[in-house]
A and B are shown apart, each in its own frame.
Chain A
Amino acid sequence: MSKSHLELTGVSMSFDTPQGPFQALDTINLKIRKGEFVSLIGHSGCGKSTVLNIVAGLLQASQGGCVLDGHEVNTPGPERAVVFQNHALMPWLTVYENVELAVRQVFRKSMTKRERQDWIIHNLELVNMAHAQDKRPGEISGGMAQRVGIARALSMRPSVLLMDEPFGALDALTRAHLQDALMEIQQDLNSTVIMITHDVDEAVLLSDRIVMMTNGPAATVGEELTIDLPRPRNRVTLADDDQYVHYRQAVLRFLYEKQRFPGKGDKAPQASTPTEEADSTAPESPVEVKAPEPQSTSAKTKKPVATAVQD
């Protein structure tokens, strides 16, 4: 096998909590080729974000490590750009200025001012957002803001694009739109992508490979599924495709038969953890691990707190 582009070797993660150490990940091994689109799927709280954050350098693995193009990953950096679930745009900057913040930092030495301007506009055009460049995040829809978040990540010209549930907070239609846009961009740029998702259809449609994680604690890679569907892919025609249906079933079987009981007897959830509980019985929709209800997502978005004096 050829030398891989991104490699996780024996990654384990244990968090220090007031109740003692909490083993979130156990010996994760993963090799990713250049230009590959990999989805991470698993029940809520199994440790997908933790894996992504370790690759991003935002978290340090307790054991094992991550190597990108022969260099060990220790700190965050723009060559591993992250798209956050809730766009994470600076609310006081316009769309243009948000991308500019990234471009100026990454290319301040290698591009002239003029080139940087063109590059910012180019990336906004990629996600179809150039028309709103002077708007602030508060003035555009969630889907548009998410596009800008993607444009900002792409503008860093990353080796790997890391996406943590990038479309989780969006309604189904907007999500479909952005999935198509992402497929196109990824094909054009041939970028390496690791994407976390709860959506089985999204995973099958977009990925070259789906990495399924077992339930935590001590989660690890359960199964890997290579999606061998020709590109460009069309969601409508694929819906009846035998191969597509087969892949979809394979993922569903893993999630709802083999990993049916999240927590493996972990009855007491960690009090200090921010993730919500996975539904251990049958979810409402058979296709989704987590139903994307707009109201549930709006409750997740953080608002800046500006209240009176606090101690």
Chain B
Amino acid sequence: MSTLTSTNPLLQLIRRRYPDVTGKALLQSVTLPVLGIALFLIAWQLVAPQINTSLGNFPTPANVYEQAGQLWQEHQNEQDRADRYVEMQEKRNARILADNPDAETRIRPYPGAPTFIDQIFTSLKTVLAGFFLATIIAVPLGIMIGLNRYFAAAANPIIQIFKPVSPLAWLPLVTMVVSATYVSDDPMFEKSFITSMVTVTLCSLWPTLINTATGVAQVNPDLVNVSKVLRLPFWTHARKVVLPAAVPMIFTGLRVSLGIAWMVLIAAEMLAQNPGLGKFVWDEFQNGSSDSLSRIMVAVLAIGFIGYVLDRIMLMIQRKVAWDE
């Protein structure tokens, strides 16, 4: 618990701002957020029963909590079943090998449907892949645009036009292109994974691109002059002066990009049927059982929480890497 509170950004902020204020301020920094959450839960509890849908009332916090436990239980059960399935095959293989040592044996993976927890990991994998792809495209491109004003002028209209495009618009195009170009008998990745990932990349690379270009273009002119006086070769100049100088801006862009990537992913998964959280929400919606709304609400909270954690992780990396904090 103590490690949890010491990484709390709010607490840190308060400690840094008012290093001599302790007891009261710290107490407040714990009690006020708790109070906020409590008030929210109460309001939710009061309002939920008033909202009637064809699938019953809007879920209350208690319903959601119950379904969260349920989803966890389902995951445990599936895991047990998968373990037993593999164990069974291993035993059978051992028997076959005992009879005939040259026999070819293999273990089939458990064919059960992915659970909520599996879907969270699929989503994380997809978003990180898309974000990684966006980063390795946007940072070098941003550096080039920031360094060369002709290049910047040429790229600007394209950036401005594609930046506001919604993932829902890209998705059909990406789907068709992926189906046409990504053909292989034994694909390493599912098509739905590639489609979701590429959509995430297309939507999330812009903030990083723009911030990198801005950061590079804004490098203190004195530092650029130092580099000129030293006659640093282009690559040394880019690596030793421009890139480090732009790091704070690049990271600000990366954080915004990751936020967008996570938001876009859910929509992309719904449509591309990538087996992640987006598909979970979609399937529950199609299912229309009395628990569906509660289960969707669990997903909503999970999505929000994971998004928050991703942002915190980026912030931690930023603090490690950037020189200005």
**Chain A residues closer than 8 Å to B211, beta-carbon distance:** 309-310
1/0 per residue A186-222: CB within 8 Å of B?
Answer: 0000000000000000000000000000000000000
Q: Distance (Å) between the CB of B41 and the closest chain A CB?
A: 32
Given A88-B226, A306-B324, A307-B252, 17 more pairs with CB closer than 8 A: A56-B229, A58-B225, A75-B231, A76-B229, A77-B231, A86-B222, A90-B244, A101-B230, A102-B230, A105-B232, A302-B222, A304-B324, A305-B218, A306-B215, A306-B248, A306-B322, A311-B210
B221: nearest chain-A partner, CB-CB? A302
Please tell me if the beta carbons of B230 and A306 are within 8 angstroms of each other in the complex: no
A81 within 8 A of B: yes
A78 to B231 alpha-carbon distance, docked (Å): 7
A92 to B236 alpha-carbon distance, docked (Å): 15
11 contacts between A and B (CB under 8 A): A77-B231, A78-B231, A88-B220, A91-B323, A92-B245, A156-B230, A304-B248, A306-B215, A309-B207, A310-B210, A310-B211
Task: Check A91/B324 contact, CB under 8 A, given A77-B231, A86-B222.
Answer: yes
A102 to B225 alpha-carbon distance, docked (Å): 13
A136 within 8 A of B: yes
Q: Is the interface of B mostly helix, strand, loop or mixed?
A: helix
B306 within 8 A of A: no
B271 within 8 A of A: no
Q: Distance (Å) between the CB of B56 and the closest chain A CB?
A: 42
B248: nearest chain-A partner, CB-CB? A306
Which residue of B210, B220, B228 contacts A309 across the interface (Cβ within 8 Å)?
B210
**Chain A residues closer than 8 Å to B226, beta-carbon distance:** 82, 84, 88, 90
A77 to B215 alpha-carbon distance, docked (Å): 26
**Chain B residues closer than 8 Å to A78, beta-carbon distance:** 229-231
B124 within 8 A of A: no
**Chain A residues closer than 8 Å to B323, beta-carbon distance:** 91-92, 136, 138
Please tell me if the beta carbons of A84 and B222 are within 8 angstroms of each other in the complex: yes
Q: Distance (Å) between the CB of A94 and the closest chain B CB?
A: 11
Instruction: Name the residue among B225, B230, B231 with the largest chain A CB count within 10 angstroms.
Output: B230
A308 within 8 A of B: yes
B325: nearest chain-A partner, CB-CB? A306
CB proximity to B under 8 Å, residues A70-96: 75-78, 80-82, 84, 86, 88, 90-93
A158: nearest chain-B partner, CB-CB? B229
B8 within 8 A of A: no
Task: Check A88/B231 contact, CB under 8 A, given A309-B253, A309-B256, A311-B160.
Answer: no
B125 within 8 A of A: no
**Chain B residues closer than 8 Å to A287, beta-carbon distance:** none
B95 within 8 A of A: no
Q: Distance (Å) between the CB of A33 and the closest chain B CB?
A: 23
Q: Which residues of A contact B (CB under 8 A)?
A: 56-58, 75-78, 80-82, 84, 86, 88, 90-93, 101-102, 105-106, 136, 138, 156, 302, 304-311
B241 within 8 A of A: yes
Please tell me if the beta carbons of A81 and B229 are within 8 angstroms of each other in the complex: yes
A162: nearest chain-B partner, CB-CB? B229
Please tell me if the beta carbons of B252 and A77 are within 8 angstroms of each other in the complex: no
Q: Distance (Å) between the CB of A138 and the closest chain B CB?
A: 8
B233: nearest chain-A partner, CB-CB? A105
Q: Distance (Å) between the CB of B71 and the closest chain A CB?
A: 36
Q: Distance (Å) between the CB of A87 and the closest chain B CB?
A: 8
B236: nearest chain-A partner, CB-CB? A105
Task: Check A76/B245 contact, CB under 8 A, given A91-B324, A305-B218.
Answer: no
A90 to B247 alpha-carbon distance, docked (Å): 13
Q: Distance (Å) between the CB of A304 and the closest chain B CB?
A: 6
1/0 per residue B16-36: CB within 8 Å of A?
Answer: 000000000000000000000
B119 within 8 A of A: no
B223 within 8 A of A: yes
Instruction: Name the residue among B222, B223, B226, B256 with the largest chain A CB count within 10 angstroms.
Output: B226
**Chain B residues closer than 8 Å to A308, beta-carbon distance:** 252, 256
A105 to B226 alpha-carbon distance, docked (Å): 12
Q: Distance (Å) between the CB of A148 and the closest chain B CB?
A: 12
Please tell me if the beta carbons of B232 and A92 are within 8 angstroms of each other in the complex: no
**Chain A residues closer than 8 Å to B240, beta-carbon distance:** 90, 101
Please tell me if the beta carbons of A88 and B210 are within 8 angstroms of each other in the complex: no
1/0 per residue B244-263: CB within 8 Å of A?
Answer: 11011100110010000000
Please tell me if the beta carbons of B252 and A304 are within 8 angstroms of each other in the complex: no
Please tell me if the beta carbons of A84 and B225 are within 8 angstroms of each other in the complex: yes
A106: nearest chain-B partner, CB-CB? B230
A93: nearest chain-B partner, CB-CB? B244
**Chain B residues closer than 8 Å to A76, beta-carbon distance:** 225, 228-229, 231
**Chain B residues closer than 8 Å to A101, beta-carbon distance:** 230, 240
**Chain B residues closer than 8 Å to A156, beta-carbon distance:** 229-230
A149: nearest chain-B partner, CB-CB? B226
Q: Distance (Å) between the CB of B28 and the closest chain A CB?
A: 28
Which residue of A90, A305, A310 contacts B223 across the interface (Cβ within 8 Å)?
A90
Q: Distance (Å) between the CB of B153 and the closest chain A CB?
A: 14
**Chain A residues closer than 8 Å to B247, beta-carbon distance:** 92
A58 to B225 alpha-carbon distance, docked (Å): 7
Please tell me if the beta carbons of B256 and A88 are within 8 angstroms of each other in the complex: no
